[in-house]
Structure 1
């Protein structure tokens, strides 16, 4: 039998950075060939991805340019989350805004999570490259506003804008990688992107500390602008294949897609989230927990959330922001839960370790970043190594379980830190924790990519990243509430001569904390203040430990699946067993 064009194409080596000139099957059609029959006519998306893997994936300098751009964008996004961690003590002192510390991270991640579910729909319908660049531009504008901010509210506003832009970056990065390389190679390239991007998350405290101490904390945001220019230039000049066939952008396409974006769900979700976080921040601080204001915020959030759930379930169905048919798949649901708690534990820890090192140990921003190197280096090493090993052995569940165990143990040990804790202990505790987070960090992404069809991957990824950002936003605000409430209570007992208002205005930099104690005070007063900060830090890490335990529990549900490439005849297969 003569080979069909598609089958023949499958046996022809692809030239680096080029596409083989073979006809591409039209949407909805079924080529009368053995290869097409093997793929099945009903699985159009799968057939399209197989064709893309044979014909369109890029190599050589083009792949290098795309990977550099994607890595830099992901690096900046995660850097923006953590770079302010060592700068926050100085920012709170400059703006006299210690109670706002939760919003400096929470506003960014809340804005990102609110828009996140829509990004999957947008990437499904429009060109991945140009959609990615638009989100990246919004992110850069938010960074500029943060850099020039003159007040805490203006700074928070810039964080909101940057968060809206970041909502499409990680999802878009994974979508671009999915379109650029075959499925069997994605664990390696995903591990590379996540690993180097994690440099931003884990090295952010070191970079932010150096910029804060030797220049200005504003450079924590100005730094995004030149790097962003390089990123945009690489992408604009390089063709990036889409994972599925996309029509050209037209006004007719826009009019068709906008009604499918579930904007009503977005409008319902945002006020529910904001009211809930406001209640968490203001409760016990500006208002009593039982006050009408706090109770009203909680009730409003619950009522709006109920309407949101009803709208998503009854009206939107599979077109909802978070499609139920995806979350009903065990692997997808447990991957979302696993990724959610890994990100939450990492984000909260990255904000409060610098507060411990600066506020309790009394070191400067740069040295506090240096003190976090044990977790930084270990986490980076394990992310890259785990990605390479998964590509080699094929199975990712063992790494999820290993990560959950070590993250739980290390976080629990960090919750015991005190003013006099020896260096060897906090270094060792960070190594254990970093190993756990590094091994578990990318598992949710790999599991979802191998559980879903190509056209479903952007929506599935957006659901996962939504859960990560929203949980991190909530738990960052919760951790700030725990920290400030406990700090006020501890100061009242251990150093009653220091007013809670003075503590709130001082912030958490080492100089500001020590300045709370008058020079003529007894040594016991300073000891009481430092112990109060340390005890409040420990309470926050009880929350981090609980998140780490949840990553271990969820790890058992991410699936036992061989991710290595499988071939049947001459047609490249997904290797995920998806129907």
Structure 2
């Protein structure tokens, strides 16, 4: 008689499946592999010595740094770059193209790391990101620049995912939150540096220099990966010895293709409506939206019925913790990226400041990101819990979006710095806690897939966030400008190049500033609603005790990671 499922049952257990050492799996319903329940105890590992750990972490953290640096460089310079191509109304495409590639590649990176190893996967990601960065730096026009952003996005899909997968193999779970906090400090240093560095490069040399300076750091990242990123003996991986053809067959190409088709068909209409003056009533627009919904259904069908090794094991989403991680990572990323791409425009147009000044206003977000990551790590290390902290952090995201929505052109300057702090603090706490929660729930053979799943929802949310922010901004801005100016030609010029605002006569400029102020406020009112969903998703999460790595050498199968007392 079959044993009924319980909270101790591994999430990805499928009928008729057998787990083999190192994660080589049989194929069954939904293709999800499973180890026996007591195999999860092997995830309790010994903390490596610092002389071994520090070089490996350095090799993992340099790509994280450069990925976050580039993100805020582009967010800060989006107005300057789009104006140089005379295409300010298409600014949201800078993020959308990048993130669509990220959505396509990111979910496959967990499987790639299992099949080809973390070092090869890391080097491939670095190479793609480098080619994309060079393409952006030398682009003669908007089309080539967007191609560069696609290549960058494909590379970035592995930079942070591979780093997190490898850390989960070498660091005990109870300490994992602390080191995830350190990783987010590195991320915060990159994102905090990107704004000022990008703004300074733009104001002194030109925006292209902001991309060129990334190439030497990427070269260092590649060398460090060759030297220090190796497979972990505690996680033997027989997949590495499989023939190339067998490895390729284990990649869910159909799932990835249907996913990126769904994302593209949903996001492109939003960008067209916001940036090109198209309307939802046009047959092409609503046909694309319907096509996106249809491809979403196809994606779920492929993952449930076709894919032997799905990029999104649906068993994860049927569990409370898996569903909570998916909801919070998705909605939080929508809010964060809509903010990062909208807030600098507020300063360049409403406050009429330089790109450097706009970038400096992102610093509180980065500082809070780093501080909160460490706080979350220490909380989990000393209490072994994560749900309460995670829920409080989700409320801070909502608070930040509400505060920004209430800003006025005459609001004090110190307040414009302060309002972004809760978003960084809350966002980091939710991301760290949700990642540890899902890792704590799955067998060690599925840590790479579970980690990739969280990044799938993050990147999908990021892509939607950029498009949603641009859509709400532009769809509100055009009627506001039409009503206030009554000059269609001038309205289009302003939407093409926001740098023209400073050159307008004072009376006209005041009207334009007010229109932008209203449009930005509407963006953050929408984000308040999105943040409220993040709070609800956090409440869904289970609170399971994290294992104590100090018991790892003597711990028996009777006490498994995640098998502690549980709170609803």
State the TM-score, normalized to the length of structure 1. 0.86
The residue matched to 2:236 in structure 1 has which SS? coil
Q: Which residue of 2 aligns with 1:559?
A: 542
Q: Which residue of 2 aligns with 1:513?
A: 501
Q: Is the 8 A contact 1:62 1:238 kept in 2?
A: no
How many positions carry a matched residue from both structures? Answer: 530
Q: Is the 8 A contact 1:87 1:217 kept in 2?
A: yes
Q: Is the 8 A contact 1:85 1:208 kept in 2?
A: no
Structure 2 residue 293 is matched with structure 1 residue 302: yes
Aligned equivalent of 1:427, options 409, 417, 425: 417
Aligned equivalent of 1:575, options 550, 561, 568: 561
The residue matched to 1:160 in structure 2 has which SS? helix
Deviates more, 1:261-270 or 1:407-416: 261-270
> 1:540–1:125: structure 2 CA closer, same or farther, 3 Å change rule?
same
After superposition, give the CA deviation of every residue in 1:447-470 in whole Å (9 maximum; x if it has no partner). Answer: 111111111111111111011111
Q: How many Å apart are 1:416 and its aligned residue?
A: 1.8
Please give the alpha-carbon distance, in whole angstroms, between the structure 2 residues aligned to 1:27 and 1:349: 44
Please give the alpha-carbon distance, in whole angstroms, between the structure 1 residues aligned to 2:145 and 2:351: 28
After superposition, give the CA deviation of every residue in 1:241-289 in whole Å (9 maximum; x if it has no partner). Answer: 4362123745x53211212212122222222322221211113634322
Q: Which residue of 2 aligns with 1:500?
A: 491
> 1:112–1:372: structure 2 CA closer, same or farther, 3 Å change rule?
closer
Q: Which residue of 1 aligns with 2:10?
A: none
The residue matched to 1:442 in structure 2 has which SS? helix
Q: How many Å apart are 1:181 and its aligned residue?
A: 2.0
Please give the alpha-carbon distance, in whole angstroms, between the structure 2 residues aligned to 1:287 and 1:475: 19
Q: How many Å apart are 1:364 and its aligned residue?
A: 0.7
The residue matched to 2:535 in structure 1 has which SS? helix
Q: How many Å apart are 1:565 and its aligned residue?
A: 0.7
Q: How does 1:64-463 map to 2 (within 5 A)?
A: 64-238=54-228, 240-242=230-232, 244-247=235-238, 249=240, 252-283=242-273, 285-316=276-307, 319-463=309-453
After superposition, give the CA deviation of every residue in 1:362-407 in whole Å (9 maximum; x if it has no partner). Answer: 1111122223333332332222222223212221222211211121
Q: How does 1:456-495 map to 2 (within 5 A)?
A: 456-495=446-485
The residue matched to 1:196 in structure 2 has which SS? helix
After superposition, give the CA deviation of every residue in 1:162-208 in whole Å (9 maximum; x if it has no partner). Answer: 11111122221111111222223211111111222133234422222
Q: Is the 8 A contact 2:181 2:372 kept in 1?
A: no
> 1:388–1:476: structure 2 CA closer, same or farther, 3 Å change rule?
same
Aligned equivalent of 1:526, options 502, 509, 526: 509
Please give the alpha-carbon distance, in whole angstroms, between the structure 1 residues aligned to 2:361 and 2:253: 45
Instruction: Find the structure with the greater CA-based Rg.
Output: 1
Structure 2 residue 79 is matched with structure 1 residue 46: no
Q: Which residue of 2 aligns with 1:540?
A: 523
State the TM-score, normalized to the length of structure 2. 0.87
Please give the alpha-carbon distance, in whole angstroms, between the structure 2 residues aligned to 1:563 and 1:282: 46
> 1:571–1:425: structure 2 CA closer, same or farther, 3 Å change rule?
same
Q: Which residue of 2 aligns with 1:27?
A: 21
After superposition, give the CA deviation of every residue in 1:304-343 in whole Å (9 maximum; x if it has no partner). Answer: 3333322222222x63221111221211120121122222
Q: Is the 8 A contact 1:354 1:369 kept in 2?
A: yes
Q: CA RMSD in A?
A: 2.5
Structure 1 residues not aligned, in runs of 5+: 1-25, 30-39
Q: How many Å apart are 1:139 and its aligned residue?
A: 1.4
The residue matched to 1:87 in structure 2 has which SS? helix
